[in-house]
Amino acid sequence: MKHVHFLGICGTAMGAVASAMARKGYVVTGTDANVYPPMSTFLESEGIRIFQGYKPENIPDDADLIVIGNAMSRGNAEVEAVLERNLRYKSLPETMKEFFLWGKHNYVVTGTHGKTTTTSMLTWLMEANEMNPSFMIGGIARNLGRGGRFTDSEYCVLEGDEYDTSFFDKRSKFLHYLPEVVIINNIEMDHVDIYANVEEIKLSFKRMLRVVPRNGIVFINADCPNCCDVRAYAANELRMVKMVSVGMGEEADIRITDIERRMDGCSFTLEGESYSIPMIGDFNVRNAAMATCAARFAGLTPDQIRSGFQSFEGVARRQEVRGTVNSVTVVDDFAHHPTAIRQAVEGLRQRFPKSRVWALFDPRSNTSITNTFQHELADALSTADFAVLPPVENYKKLLPEERLDLQMLHDEIAAQETPCYVGSSVDDIVAHVVTHVHPGDVLLVMSNGGFGGIHNKLLIGLAQ
């Protein structure tokens, strides 16, 4: 095998794997619909040729393997060409497994919330202590500057997504990652486009645990009922798999205690050792505790872990301050699930205890545009002092009775005595907010997309 061609090469994970393949000596090419910096320039610097726009003729005649990204679907011109020509193809997780994960100590971080932050923390703890780990993260840790890389280290840290692998493999991505160490942060209903209920999600986690070796370990959230169900299953069916629960409750095998909350971070105690993190919110304490347990299993000492946390700079789009203008602060966060929204508001109340918090929420994910969390979203958004919503522009193929009802959402939030505004556009929202905001307020912008560039528009509007 000499030549590998990637479909959807400019995605964060796809680009990282393509680069690693090129450095292994393979000829690498790829196609994407949107080719622009910084990924395009990075790939070109690695000697990778990129085609813009999907066309059958983009697939080189001598390509030995086609890597098909998760964003690809039937009807894509190159996907159809691959199938018609009967070319050898793999999903990205299969490719990672085949070329980079065999023989490694793979640490897989899973759960509905906190995966990116916990994976970034664990990776940095190893990196700061010269373990030079490979990693694949669904975000950008500021210390690391990229979402993924593959090294010669025996350690590999992976964000394990429960979402499906590809259009031809509907299993969860993490089932391909050969996990030796697993973190399960929490399990909640999400991804309603592929899961009918939370039982199906738990089944996927149970399947992952079936391939954890006897010399591995699973750290699981003791305070999450769904995690407890999964642990009970493992205790009965997979007795050779070592399971350790971590939590704040008395039933946890490893308890998180002595939590101290400050405006600039948190401290906690784990197994008699104290740790401090430069991050706010009890959810980040839990993330740090999980990362600590996994790091200890990898051989790091408490002092090494403390030193790593001290220099950890956080993750882009996780409570990231985008700017402060006229004493009003704009914060960017990736939250798009009711639980994550609550946690984001809670964290900012810890960081800005005297400020009014505005929750500007963009329903954009495949789940949040449905009415699955119609009432839960209202409860979560009402924890802020003000709630602001844009129109939902992309209902995809949802039937009217399946869609999130914005008017109902507005009314439920208002009924809980939280003023709510539904804007007609991003520009309309900016005009409303800058007219009603007070000095000292915090504007929490929550979206798993770009929200129409609202962050910069708010900063410009506040300046004017």
Whole-number pLDDT of residue 395:
79
User: Of 152, 198, 141, 204, nearest to 12 (Cα)?
Assistant: 141
Question: Is pLDDT larger for residue 443 or for residue 239?
Answer: 443
pTM here is 0.92
**3-92 and 103-310 in the same fold:** no
pLDDT digit string, tens, across residues 168-188: 999 999 999 999 999 999 999
Question: Residue 120 in contact with residue 139, Cβ under 8 Å?
Answer: yes
Nearest CA among 449, 448, 455, 120 for reference residue 284: 120
The count of residues in the chain is 464
The 10s digit of each residue's pLDDT in 148-159 is 899 999 999 999
Between 364 and 77, the more confident residue is 77
CA atoms within 13 A on the CB side of 193: 17
Q: What is the pLDDT of residues 103-116, one digit of tens each?
A: 999 999 999 999 99
Q: Best-predicted range by mean pLDDT among 35-39, 347-351, 448-452?
A: 347-351
Going from N- to C-terminal start, the domains of the chain cover: 3-92, 103-310, 320-463
Bridge partner list, 217: 181
Q: Identify the CATH homologous superfamily for domain 3-92.
A: NAD(P)-binding Rossmann-like Domain (3.40.50.720)
pLDDT for residue 428: 97
How many other C-beta atoms are found inside a 10 Å radius of the C-beta of residue 60? 15
Q: How does residue 69 score in pLDDT terms, banded at 50, 70 and 90? A: very high
CATH code 3.20.20.10 for 103-310: no
Q: Which CATH architecture has domain 320-463?
A: Alpha-Beta Complex (3.90)
When pLDDT is cut at 50, 70 and 90, the band that residue 371 belongs to is very high
Q: What does the DSSP 8-state code read for residue 101?
A: I
